[in-house]
Structure 1
Amino acid sequence: MNRERLMEETRGQMPLKRWDHTIGVMGAAVELAKRFGGDPDKAELAALLHDYCKYWPIEEQRREYAAEELDPDLFNYDPQLLHGPLAAEVVRKRYGITDCEVLDAIRYHTSGRERMTLLDKIVCLADYIEPGRDFPTVPVIREMAEHSLERALVAGFDSTVQFLVEKGKKVFPLTIVARNSLIDEIGGRTGPKD
């Protein structure tokens, strides 16, 4: 499928404000890919599709998620987490996206994962720092992103965890695992997935 049609179909899945966010994530992902030696084309594609299912009704997301036989443990956490893994499966089937690296970057853009790949990091961080984001710690995270994907992502995950704790919500364990893995990577104890 050509890029213009894929953009048009993705835009049709969300309200205008979320489309503006998606465009911002695409730009940030390409910039981060160029800065840190990633593939700008893969970064742009994963960023384009990262929120594909986000605005489907939650019951539809739950139904489709279950039909895809994805990890049922996710149902025990905030429903906002469903759209990443679901989007990866939907775009694989609908559009023939077969690049596992792109699909994983879509799948893990909200939670992160242990030993994130470069593309995982780029898309996840781009989602945090795109120009339309205005949460209190985003300027610091953007500054960190000038020099280190890993440190910026740890700060992003810290912000997410703090927000969830303040709201009295559960924290998805994979986010803590991702954060800890990044800290190990910063300390030189592990590396990203190959």
Structure 2
Amino acid sequence: MTQKRFAHCQRTSAMAVKLAEQNGGDVLRAKIGGLVHDYAKQIPDADFIQAIHDHHLPDDLLHYGNAIWHGIVGVYFIEDELGLHDPAILQAVQEHTTGSPEMPLLAQIIYMADFIEPGRSFPGVEKARAITAKNLQAGVLFQLSHELTYLVEKQEPIYPLTFTSYNAWVKRISQTTQAKKAE
């Protein structure tokens, strides 16, 4: 892992700890998840392709790339090379590249910590930070929407789970908002 990537992982870990503290999450798991979330980011494509075959993952995964693979497939490298087998941490790492319709709290924390860590400086990051500081789940929906917009504008393929996640989170946030209005 390059020094730049490691520094990003350290910042993500620190942000994950902060989000865990603010949202009643498991601080230790958040810290570890932040540190390992990009462990596989710099693994050669050939190794990912082999892992996709070895672990009998769906063939459509082959049409994407490292941006998706380092989460979904990266967990196998984390298990094999680091000996980390904590299901909650592995799920959070696996889902940090696509989101998921039913992300548990730790996965939401890692997903957002990676997106808003202090080293990030893309258009919309300050808004993402502000939204997430007020409501973690609203931050998740913001990120999903932001990612879809970004990928569409760049005419990049969108992994189907990202669409599914977006639709589920729109519904989830809408139901939460309606429930609060009814109170």
Quick check: TM above 0.5? yes
Which residue pairs with 2:24 in the alignment?
Answer: 37
Which residue pairs with 1:94 in the alignment?
Answer: 81
**8 Å contact kept, 2:72–2:97:** no
1:158 to 118, 126, 145: 145
Shift of 1:183: 1.8
For the structure 1 residues 78 and 164, does the alpha-carbon distance in structure 2 shift closer, same or farther, using more than 3 Å as the test? farther
Which residue pairs with 1:144 in the alignment?
Answer: 131
Which residue pairs with 1:17 in the alignment?
Answer: 4
1:73 to 60, 65, 68: 60
**Deviation string, structure 1 residues 147-184 (Cα, Å, up to 9, x no partner):** 11111111111111111111111111111111222222
Which residue pairs with 2:35 in the alignment?
Answer: 48
**TM-score scaled by structure 2?**
0.90
Tell whether 2:167 aligns with 1:180. yes
Shift of 1:59: 2.0
**8 Å contact kept, 1:53–1:61:** no
Name whichever of 25-34 and 86-95 sits farther off: 86-95
**Deviation string, structure 1 residues 40-75 (Cα, Å, up to 9, x no partner):** 101111111111111112222222232222232211
The AA in structure 2 aligned to 1:56 is I
**8 Å contact kept, 2:128–2:139:** yes
**8 Å contact kept, 1:81–1:110:** yes
For the structure 1 residues 85 and 154, does the alpha-carbon distance in structure 2 shift closer, same or farther, using more than 3 Å as the test? same
For the structure 1 residues 19 and 68, does the alpha-carbon distance in structure 2 shift closer, same or farther, using more than 3 Å as the test? same
Same amino acid, percent of matched pairs: 32
**8 Å contact kept, 1:49–1:87:** no
**TM-score scaled by structure 1?**
0.85
**8 Å contact kept, 1:43–1:119:** yes
**What is the rounded CA distance, in whole Å, between the counterparts of 2:107 and 2:83 in structure 1?**
20
Which residue pairs with 1:11 in the alignment?
Answer: none
**What is the rounded CA distance, in whole Å, between the counterparts of 2:73 and 2:28 in structure 1?**
22
**What is the rounded CA distance, in whole Å, between the counterparts of 1:99 and 1:188 in structure 2?**
31
**What is the rounded CA distance, in whole Å, between the counterparts of 2:40 and 2:49 in structure 1?**
11
Structure 2: 5+ residue stretches without partners: 177-183
Which residue pairs with 2:181 in the alignment?
Answer: none
Greater helix fraction, Structure 1 or Structure 2: 2
1:106 to 93, 106, 116: 93
RMSD: 1.4
**What is the rounded CA distance, in whole Å, between the counterparts of 1:98 and 1:19 in structure 2?**
21
What SS does the aligned partner of 1:47 have? helix
Structure 1: 5+ residue stretches without partners: 1-13, 190-194
**What is the rounded CA distance, in whole Å, between the counterparts of 2:18 and 2:58 in structure 1?**
32
Which residue pairs with 1:192 in the alignment?
Answer: none
